Structure 1
Amino acid sequence: MATNGRAKGENAAGHEPEYDKLETTPLVGEPRDLLAGERSSDGPEIDLALSGTVFFDIVLTGLVAPPASGTEVDAEGMGSCPGGVANLAVAASRLGLRTAVAAAFGEDVYGDFCWETLSEQEMVDLGASRRIPDWHSPFTVSLAYRGDRSMVTHEHPSPLPLEEMARGLPRARAAFISLGADADVPEWALEQSANGAKLFADVGWDDSQRWPESVLEQLRHCHAFMPNAIEAMSYTRTGSPASALAALTEYVPIAVVTDGPRGALAVDQLTDESAEVDGLVMDAIDTTGAGDVFGASFIVGTLAGWPLEQRLRFANLCAALSVQHTGGSLSAPGWADIATWWVRVHSGSRAAERRLAEEYGFLSDLVPMPWRPTDRRRASATIGLRH
């Protein structure tokens, strides 16, 4: 995959690249398998199964405001990457989960790019996915500004139903689904659940503003539910994230409500734990995919058997690190990014750093202090360029 800017990332003087704040990319580090001790020849072939739409995303960052009608504005940074279901798939894979996706890919240059990025760079299993001839790959342009973003999307329905492709997913430890009012839990996910997979779910924005209770009734099939605060309050008809969380415990064993920079709160009735943690505020370049990164990180911690508070803190950290980079999927942190943050915090002397070092002390076991990440960065995905 090529880098943005000069060939092989060198500056004009041939020195090490100077990464612009708006186009930096996550570090490359050694892969880490948190579930290595649980793997066996007769166990699940993969850790996380996903099915959905993969979009080709172009993300423009550093806008002061979106363009008004008939005007043009400058974007200080840009990136392109697989989006949609790829956001969670890449985030999970970078944290060491064996991840498989069932999705349709066009046989156009956008489809080529997304397929190569996921399978070759991000090590996502695409055995259940299909290339569709004479079909336009789904496409999204995202405009990031003032800590938020707006999106424009163009897509055609896949000629090959997702449900049909998803039946080809290997047996998994966990599966992720997005609930909606127009359909029940997909059959492929129910089959995965019957074979022992834990179903994790979130929910999309309801454009109709009806927020039907039928969506919550689908949670009877699920292991965990991870909506954001607005979605949780809307579906439960409550006035605060805490009240929404209490209502959700009537539907699902593990309920999590995310509240952006304010943090997250959760109840795990299987372990009799409840927890609430503060968010981590970092300079945001692009918030696209932060919720997916949170979800993937929480799944990692749950499959690894961590305490609930640790799962929330880890997911908050990963989501916060992701907003410092451009793009949804390719902004997801890996262990090198986590190590870099932890080394800086652990060695800090300010009161805020000492507090974080105490709260995130569990990272000492996950990221040993003698280990240092490489200074090599992942390639920024820019379509059309080749070394």
Structure 2
Amino acid sequence: MATQGREHTGGGPKGKKAADLESTPLVGEPRDVLAGEREPDSPAIDLALSGTVFFDIVLTGLASAPASGTEVGAEGMGSCPGGVANLAVAASRLGLRTAVAAAFGEDVYGDFSWETLGTQEMVDLTASRRIPDWHSPFTVSLAYRGDRSMVTHEHPSPVPPAEMARALPQARAVFVSLRPDADLPEWALDQAGSGARIFADVGWDDSQRWDGSVLEQLKHCHAFVPNAIEAMSYTRTGSPASALSALSEHVPVAVVTDGPRGALAVDQVSGETAAVEGLVLDAVDTTGAGDVFGAAFIVGTLAGWPLEQRLRFANLSAALSVQHTGGSLSAPGWADIAAWWGQVHAGHSEADRRLAGDYGFLTGLVPLPWLPTDQRRASATIGLRT
């Protein structure tokens, strides 16, 4: 995972403004990391998700949050689908066949989000619905000083996403966000009953109670991926390592992400433990970095990679995502990963040599003779005509 404000490693040049650092993600050939795992009777979908899709407007490069009665300038902006779309797009760009159950309004915001997910990002929306006379959920995100603040407006969907989720195709894995005030969704349990592995995270607890009932839900899950603060709060421990040890008593695969300090995990299925340092690149917007980490970790798990490789790949994917605006459309594809890997191999510093050793597994995934195209994806904005 990555944040702004620390010395960069393998990233863009120091001292530049956020607007100068940002570039549009590259387009590359789709890569199916599960090609060798696919059988005629295996699930057609790799990852199933259900939740709310927000229309996000992200403003970047603010010197500070606006105080009452004031106006501040933003160096950059972008618009993209947010919410559950963040993880869905990240997974799809890394090669997972992904399906989402969500409500979309029949407004311009809904049109844009539906087309972006279904057509541009190849996310299966057969379980989703367009809702007439209901406007799409909307969020404005202000990115400044390596963090962000958000303002959201939404009305509950007339058709709950959990109801739509019953129509999701059978998947290899599902992803859910645990809540202390609700049980694990029935649709996810049904998927697990047919062989899917449940991956879970948890949202911030505004009440600060950190209800332990969340941990009880982990008995149904394959993996749990909270950040360090969430993990320590729910386990009542004082360090990420202690929190990881406590979580491993509840779930087969426990992962604790710790921002620029990296991530640590225990996989009781394979008998592995791993801890990797963070990969810090110059940041434009940190929105969605946790979702990208989660998607990349699922990719590595379904592909059967060693635990340390899964953590490094997830760290790299999250770090690359913060170089672009928005949560979903900032997610890297294989071309972005290949470009970074080529840059590391072209470098001559001690840091580059260390990275080349740590990420040597990428040679089999993005061989150096393979180069991404110069074509770039559409910028994260709505209705831009060229």
TM superposition score normalised by structure 2: 0.94
Give the superposed CA RMSD.
1.0
> C-alpha deviations, 1:29-49, integer Å up to 9, x for none?
010001111112211010000
Aligned residue identity for 2:39: S
Alignment partner, residue 310 of structure 1? 309
Q: Does 1:379 align with 2:382?
A: no
Alignment partner, residue 344 of structure 1? 343
Alignment partner, residue 222 of structure 1? 221
Alignment partner, residue 120 of structure 1? 119
Distance in 1, Cα, partners of 2:299 & 2:67: 42
State the shift of 1:382 in Å: 1.7
Q: Does 1:362 align with 2:361?
A: yes
State the shift of 1:200 in Å: 0.1
Distance in 1, Cα, partners of 2:307 & 2:359: 13
State the shift of 1:320 in Å: 0.3
Aligned residue identity for 2:262: G
Aligned residue identity for 1:331: S
Alignment partner, residue 210 of structure 1? 209
SS at match of 1:320: helix
Distance in 1, Cα, partners of 2:20 & 2:113: 25
SS at match of 1:362: helix
Q: Does 1:324 align with 2:326?
A: no
Q: Give aligned pairs, total.
A: 369
Distance in 1, Cα, partners of 2:183 & 2:62: 39
> C-alpha deviations, 1:106-133, integer Å up to 9, x for none?
0000000000000011000000000000
State the shift of 1:346 in Å: 1.6
State the shift of 1:23 in Å: 4.7
Alignment of 1:49-88 (within 5 A): 49-88=48-87
Alignment partner, residue 39 of structure 2? 40
Aligned residue identity for 1:179: L
State the shift of 1:349 in Å: 1.0
> C-alpha deviations, 1:233-257, integer Å up to 9, x for none?
0000000000000000010000000
Q: Does 1:157 align with 2:156?
A: yes
User: Is residue 22–residue 77 contact of structure 1 (8 Å, CA) maintained in 2?
Assistant: no
Alignment of 1:239-278 (within 5 A): 239-278=238-277
Unaligned runs of 5+ in 1: 1-18
Aligned residue identity for 2:239: S
Distance in 2, Cα, partners of 1:304 & 1:119: 24
User: Is residue 22–residue 76 contact of structure 1 (8 Å, CA) maintained in 2?
Assistant: no
Aligned residue identity for 1:377: R
User: Is residue 22–residue 323 contact of structure 2 (8 Å, CA) maintained in 1?
Assistant: no
Distance in 1, Cα, partners of 2:308 & 2:26: 26
Unaligned runs of 5+ in 2: 1-17
Alignment of 1:155-234 (within 5 A): 155-234=154-233
User: Is residue 22–residue 62 contact of structure 1 (8 Å, CA) maintained in 2?
Assistant: no
Q: Does 1:236 align with 2:204?
A: no
> C-alpha deviations, 1:194-252, integer Å up to 9, x for none?
01000000000001101011000000000000000000000000000000000000100
What fraction of aligned residue pairs are identical, expressed as a percent?
82
Distance in 2, Cα, partners of 1:113 & 1:381: 11
Alignment of 1:3-42 (within 5 A): 21=20, 23-42=22-41
Distance in 2, Cα, partners of 1:76 & 1:349: 33
User: Is residue 24–residue 326 contact of structure 1 (8 Å, CA) maintained in 2?
Assistant: no
